[in-house]
Amino acid sequence: MNCKHAIIAFFIALPLMTLSAQKKYKPEWESLLKYETPEWFKDVKFGIFIHCPTTVPANNSEWYGYHMWNEGQVDALGNPSQEASNAYKNHVKDFGKPEDFGYTKFIPMFKAEKFDAKEC
């Protein structure tokens, strides 16, 4: 199916989907009182996922794992450069080629001696 057919199918299906939608909402108290909250919403928990990347040994940003492989830098417009990225140069100087000392080798080096979960 090409793009033109997909667009046509979408616009044909759109009115059919709206016809099969639930009853219309009326901004009245009676309508609001009839609404039942789903069970999953009553039991929902709020959580935050925090990732502490292993970039500390490399002294760079969370993008270090990407830039350490960049032998030929690319600018914001996607134009290639002949010069390697600073992250690549520093990685080779400090740790060796990324093929030999990859990003996962930083994991055992990551220590959180000063981290105290009770302070959070």
117 φψ region: left (φ > 0), alpha (ψ -120 to 50), beta (else): alpha
Q: Which whole number is the average pLDDT over 11-33?
A: 72
Q: Which whole number is the average pLDDT over 21-41?
A: 79
Residue whose C-alpha is closest to residue 36's, from 22, 46, 17: 22
- Longest CA–CA span in the chain (Å) reads 71
pLDDT tens digits for range 50-77: 766 665 565 667 777 777 887 776 665 6
Q: Which residues contact 113 (CB under 8 A, 6 or more apart)?
A: none
In the chain, % of residues over pLDDT 90: 5
Please state the pTM of the whole predicted model.
0.46
Distance CA 20, CA 36 (A): 20
- Residue 49 in contact with residue 56, Cβ under 8 Å? no
- Mean pLDDT (the chain) is 77
pLDDT tens digits for range 80-102: 777 888 888 888 998 999 999 98
Residue-level pLDDT at 48: 80
Distance CA 69, CA 84 (A): 9
The one-letter code for the residue type at 97 is K
